């Protein structure tokens, strides 16, 4: 992991490549991809002489893993190659949490390298089209109905998702190029979702929501007239509003937890892993007892029973896997260069692109509620940020943690109050402090004028409040999940903080699975597609 920084005065050309891994992976990837193709293109008499290993149950999924490996290798190789060109075109940033880094002189780190990653991913996803959708595979590698016998309609969903992803990438790049204002940025993921939503509509999309039986019982207790079992209601237009807000949510919630090397990419990586894991649970390859043990995951009989609905659910999750597995590959490849100390920054392009990927599979796969569960840390961050976003507490332009050059550690960044904050701010901060969500620094009232500015960096410790003198709030840690982690665990190294956030993301994915398959099956009583 030793970085090769400082190749030149101004650029950092990325860490050394994992050469051995790359050169062993390429043949593995190509074998995974070529294996399902061989029976189609190699004459039968040759195959009789040199028999192939038996075809997997999911040949397209095997090829997909091959493409994911190529995505990883491609990202690792291409990011340092294009970095110089990005810096030359002004797509560059300075690393605010490094010693000797400066807004005017750098060292410059190429920004917006989500672009080559997204381009690579999209190209590979285009080349993958024949595997699940080609007529040539129908009948030859099909092991029974409901497995990989994709109807043409699925190709439409696939193409629509690609179109939305491509739009998100392009808009993200335009945003990175022209620095679109925050207000104008918000609807961008919505525009990118247009293909998905329009095709969802044109195909006569599903706008029903299943209400849990327990809600019916609750309503009947309250005297509103309940119902027995689950009930579906048609949300109609409102459902489209919900679907339209989903990409805005997934995109911006990744984008907002940023500023520390590797943190955006780590989030996307773990969410993609979680979605893929969830998808895998729906494939009819697990022993029934395991699924029952795990709380009836994925309706254990789905995929085995050859009913229409069961096949549908398997297909949707297979489709989601096709998008998530290469996304894991490309994200891991980019993380190689974005990890502390970063030699490439993701830019908004990366956040738009990954956010749209999550939204697209959730919409097309009909598992948007499960997807939202995987964003628990981001939702926590958003709720924690609300007092600052909505003006209850002052919001400085940057809220990323503060770098203490003498210790080399990060401490929470602070919002500093030059005069006593208004009552609403005071009460908000004190409530947050009570729950341990912020760290407040107080000064005795008579000391007010002098020392406020100097402690802006947040290195000063809070004054002991037991001194009886009347005090006032002078500073509070900024309300983000990254600062919260620093408040809870104390000052940390940048890399440790990124790891901590990754750990939180993993833990909340575990919690999400618990909610989805534990609480969810109690609430919905088994009918959860």
Q: Which residue's CB is nearer to a second copy, number 180 or number 379?
A: 180
Closest CA to 513 of 317, 373, 375: 373
What's the min distance (Å) between Cβ of 119 and a second copy? 7
What's the min distance (Å) between Cβ of 86 and a second copy? 8
Please report how the helices 481-489 and 376-389 are oriented relative to each other, as an axis angle in degrees rounded to 10.
100
Q: Which residue's CB is nearer to a second copy, number 127 or number 309?
A: 127
Q: Which residue's CB is nearer to a second copy, number 169 or number 354?
A: 169
Closest CA to 281 of 401, 391, 177, 365: 365
The DSSP line for 134-161 is -TTTTTTS--STTSS---HHHHHHHHHH
Report residue 352: phi and psi, to 5°. Answer: -65, -45
Centroid of chain to Cα 413: 24
- Burial of 465 (C-beta count, 10 Å sphere; 0-12/13-18/19+): exposed
Alpha helices in 339-417 (DSSP H): 347-365, 368-373, 376-389
Q: Which residue's CB is nearer to a second copy, number 147 or number 442?
A: 147
Closest CA to 280 of 319, 246, 328, 321: 321
Per the CB < 8 A criterion, the answer to whether 476 and 414 are in contact is yes
Q: Which residue's CB is nearer to a second copy, number 122 or number 506?
A: 122
Q: Which residue's CB is nearer to a second copy, number 78 or number 388?
A: 78
Q: Which residue's CB is nearer to a second copy, number 136 or number 405?
A: 136
In whole angstroms, what is the distance from residue 237 CA to residue 207 CA?
8
Pairing of strands 231-234, 402-404: unpaired
Pairing of strands 409-411, 402-404: antiparallel
What's the min distance (Å) between Cβ of 81 and a second copy? 12
What's the min distance (Å) between Cβ of 174 and a second copy? 8
The structure tokens 């327990």 sit at 214
Q: Which residue's CB is nearer to a second copy, number 160 or number 505?
A: 160
Q: Which residue's CB is nearer to a second copy, number 63 or number 500?
A: 63
Closest CA to 396 of 96, 172, 98: 96
What's the min distance (Å) between Cβ of 82 and a second copy? 8
Exposure pattern of 39-62 as b/e (b: 16+ CB <10 Å)?
Answer: eeeeeeeeeeeeeeeeebebbbbb
What's the min distance (Å) between Cβ of 194 and a second copy? 5
Q: Which residue's CB is nearer to a second copy, number 28 or number 202?
A: 202
In whole angstroms, what is the distance from residue 96 CA to residue 322 CA?
37
What token pair was written down for 39?
């029976």
Closest CA to 274 of 203, 372, 415, 201: 372
What's the min distance (Å) between Cβ of 306 and a second copy? 24
In whole angstroms, what is the distance from residue 133 CA to residue 304 CA?
22
Residues that bind a second copy (CB under 8 A): 85, 89-90, 115, 119, 122-123, 126-127, 129-130, 133-136, 152-153, 155-156, 159-160, 162-163, 166-167, 169-170, 173-174, 177-178, 191, 194-195, 198-199, 201-204
What's the min distance (Å) between Cβ of 126 and a second copy? 5
Q: Which residue's CB is nearer to a second copy, number 177 or number 219?
A: 177
Q: Which residue's CB is nearer to a second copy, number 153 or number 422?
A: 153
- Burial of 130 (C-beta count, 10 Å sphere; 0-12/13-18/19+): middle
What's the min distance (Å) between Cβ of 205 and a second copy? 10
Residue 92, strand partner residues: 110
What's the min distance (Å) between Cβ of 156 and a second copy? 6
What's the min distance (Å) between Cβ of 175 and a second copy? 12
What's the min distance (Å) between Cβ of 404 and a second copy? 36
What token pair was written down for 387?
């007092």
What's the min distance (Å) between Cβ of 167 and a second copy? 7
Q: Which residue's CB is nearer to a second copy, number 127 or number 507?
A: 127
Report residue 43: phi and psi, to 5°. Answer: -60, 150
Residues whose CB falls within 8 Å of the CB of residue 290, separated by 6 or more in sequence, listed in order: none
């Amino acid at each position: 992991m030793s970085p090769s920084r400082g190749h030149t005065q101004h650029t950092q050309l990325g860490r050394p490549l994992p050469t051995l891994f790359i050169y062993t992976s390429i043949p593995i990837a190509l074998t995974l991809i070529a294996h399902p193709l061989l029976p189609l293109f190699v004459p039968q008499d040759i195959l009789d002489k040199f028999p192939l290993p038996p075809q997997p149950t999911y040949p397209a999924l095997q090829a997909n893993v091959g493409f994911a490996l190529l995505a990883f290798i491609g990202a690792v190789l291409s990011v340092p190659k294009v970095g110089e060109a990005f810096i030359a075109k002004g797509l560059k940033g300075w690393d605010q949490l490094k010693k000797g880094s400066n807004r005017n002189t750098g060292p410059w780190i190429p920004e917006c390298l989500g672009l080559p990653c997204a381009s690579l991913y999209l190209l590979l996803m285009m080349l993958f089209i024949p595997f699940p959708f080609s007529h040539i595979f129908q009948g030859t590698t099909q092991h029974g109905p409901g497995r990989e016998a994709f109807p043409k309609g699925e190709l439409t969903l696939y193409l629509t998702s690609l179109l939305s992803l491509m739009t998100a990438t392009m808009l993200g790049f335009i945003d990175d190029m022209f620095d679109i204002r925050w207000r104008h940025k918000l609807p961008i993921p919505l525009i990118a979702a247009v293909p998905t939503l329009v095709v969802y509509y044109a195909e006569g999309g599903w706008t029903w929501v299943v209400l849990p039986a327990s809600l019916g019982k609750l309503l009947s207790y309250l005297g509103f007239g309940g119902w027995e079992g689950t009930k579906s209601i048609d949300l109609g237009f409102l459902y489209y509003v919900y679907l339209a807000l989903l990409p805005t949510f997934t995109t911006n919630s990744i984008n907002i937890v940023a500023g520390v090397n590797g943190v955006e990419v780590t989030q996307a990586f773990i969410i993609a892993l979680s979605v893929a894991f969830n998808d895998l649970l729906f494939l009819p390859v697990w022993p029934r007892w395991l699924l029952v043990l795990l709380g009836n995951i994925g309706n254990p009989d789905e995929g085995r029973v050859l009913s229409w609905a069961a096949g549908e659910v398997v297909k949707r999750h297979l489709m989601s896997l096709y998008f998530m597995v290469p996304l894991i590959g490309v994200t891991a490849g980019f993380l190689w260069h974005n990890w502390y100390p970063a030699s490439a920054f993701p830019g908004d392009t990366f956040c738009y692109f990954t956010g749209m990927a999550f939204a697209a599979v959730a919409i097309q796969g009909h598992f948007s509620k499960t997807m939202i569960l995987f964003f628990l840390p981001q939702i926590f961050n958003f709720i924690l940020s609300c007092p600052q976003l909505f003006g209850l507490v002052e919001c400085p332009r940057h809220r990323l943690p503060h770098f203490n050059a003498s210790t080399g550690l990060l401490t929470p960044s602070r919002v500093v109050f030059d005069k006593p904050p208004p009552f609403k701010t005071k009460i908000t901060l004190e409530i947050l402090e009570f729950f341990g969500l912020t760290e407040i620094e107080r000064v005795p009232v008579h000391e007010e004028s002098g020392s406020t500015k100097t402690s802006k960096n947040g290195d000063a410790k809070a004054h002991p409040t037991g001194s009886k003198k009347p005090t006032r709030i002078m500073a509070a840690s900024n309300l983000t999940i990254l600062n919260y982690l620093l408040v809870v665990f104390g000052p940390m190294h940048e890399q440790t903080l990124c790891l901590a956030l990754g750990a939180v993301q993993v833990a909340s994915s575990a919690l999400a699975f618990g909610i989805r398959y534990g609480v969810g099956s109690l609430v919905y009583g088994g009918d959860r597609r």
